[in-house]
Amino acid sequence: MRRISVIGVGYVGLTTGTCFADLGHQVTCVDVDEAKIEKLRAGIMPIYEPGLEEMVRRNAHAARLSFTTSYQEGLAEAEFVFIAVGTPQGSGGEADLKYVRSAAQSIAAAMTHPLIIVNKSTVPIGTGDWVADIVRRYQPRPIPFSVVSNPEFLREGSAINDFMHPDRIVLGSLDPEAAAQVAQLYLSLRAPIMITDLRTAEMIKYASNAFLATRISFINEIATMCEALGADVKEVAIGMGYDKRIGPDFLDAGIGFGGSCFPKDVQALAHMAAVHGCHPQLLRAVLEINRDQRRQVIHKLREVLGTLHDQVIGVLGLAFKPNTDDMREAPAVEIIHLLQSEGAHIRAYDPVAMVNAPLYLQDVTLCENAYEVAQGADALVIATEWNEFKHLSLPRLKEVMRKPVIIDGRNIYDPEQMKALGFIYRGMGRGYGS
């Protein structure tokens, strides 16, 4: 059992802290947001993540997991302190490090004994050195510490499973002994552990996310060609995926990637590259293709309906992907804004994200379920591939719609079957049959 403090109770911090507690460590989570800490103490989650609530309750009950707003209290006995605060996007595409800076300053002010400071937040290359510098400057008296970069690879919606069954653990530090100590925390997970230097570890995180985003934009570009040339991108992806060098994952064409990581991280990497005199042409194309995917939905609707002015468009799914309530950079939000600028009226529903909808959308009729969205709609757009949308009664949907038009932004339906049911159906990249 080791003593760990985690700064920040967002997706990454709360999942990391809770999972470490579940592995038997003693964890204190620190956050400056009093309301969030109060709620967590009462067993109420600030985010939706499957399985998290139960795991928090169980470990809090076993006194392995506690929550505080006080750095003094959080660091009192800690051997490791994980920084897992947000790194939002700055106005120029760069990562904004204000929360990392204030976490480092607060750690420096509160630490009373040697610590290993582990950075989990996705931060620009070189931030580890910068954090060390801040801690050194803000300590009231010199106390030894080391900085380790330990990027997270957690996906929202499957964060607990990803923590417990990682493909790899990446650790970077100028102090190999500190990295080895952090490695000990993960030993029971039996995952490959890579120890490298700080900057390389930080780059591994950006390069991994940028590569995955590139795969998505690549298949989306192929999808556009498939439509023009009469091929089916779903089949193309299956055929490509059998090649072991390519693999089947992350080849789903659609309205593109969203969420709190891919768009922001690709932007930040492109920004860093440009600042350092590199020309990130591939990354720029990845972002541009991603933007175009959203616009394609509008083009498809115009092609079928003509003008969108005063048309009623139903949107199914608001979260950036299934199994999360997160609407950050969600394709649905951008699509709805584009439709509204064309004068369309929007009805929408999401199984989980409805609570967040008012933060991102205005003048949208929020409905109780998919059938209510379809009521009187001139077209439906599938924006998130929630399971419940895959099992809708399509004849019932068609019956209540004004026009039987479906733009399937996530390719969840079969074009042939939709045609047989009498829908005017458009998938993404499904030239054959749609």
Residues at the site binding ligand UDX, with contacts judged by CB under 6 A: 152-156, 209, 212, 216, 250-252, 254, 256-259, 261-262, 320-321
Sequence-distant (6+) residues with CB within 8 A of 362 are: none
Output the six-digit token pair for 232.
């089916």
Sequence-distant (6+) residues with CB within 8 A of 418 are: 394, 406, 408, 425, 434
Residue 135 or residue 210: which is nearer to ligand UDX going by CB? 210
Residue 113 or residue 295: which is nearer to ligand UDX going by CB? 295
Give the H or E element holding residue 296.
helix 281-305
Query: Is the Cα torsion angle 284, 285, 286, 287 positive or negative in sign?
Result: positive
Sequence-distant (6+) residues with CB within 8 A of 28 are: 4, 5, 6, 65, 66, 67, 68, 73, 74, 78
Q: Residue number with the shortest CB distance to ligand UDX?
A: 261
Output the six-digit token pair for 113.
């004994």
CB 142 within 8 A of CB 112: no
Q: How far is the CB of 111 from ligand UDX (least distance, A)?
A: 28
CB 296 within 8 A of CB 360: no
Q: 27-52 in b/e burial notation, b at 16+ Cβ within 10 A?
A: bbbbbbeeebbeebeeeeebbbbeeb
Output the six-digit token pair for 43.
């067993």
- Say if residue 395 is exposed, middle or buried (CB neighbours under 10 Å; 0-12, 13-18, 19+): exposed
Catalytic residue among 29, 226, 261, 367: 261
CB 82 within 8 A of CB 7: yes
Residue 47 or residue 180: which is nearer to ligand UDX going by CB? 47
Output the six-digit token pair for 60.
């809090």
Q: How far is the CB of 254 from ligand UDX (least distance, A)?
A: 5
Give every strand in the sheet of 65-68, ordered side by side: 65-68, 26-30, 3-7, 80-83, 115-119, 145-149, 169-173, 193-196
Q: Is 261 a catalytic residue?
A: yes
Length of the chain: 434
Q: Which residues are registered as beta bridge partners of 365?
A: 347
CB 130 within 8 A of CB 124: no
The catalytic residue positions are 261
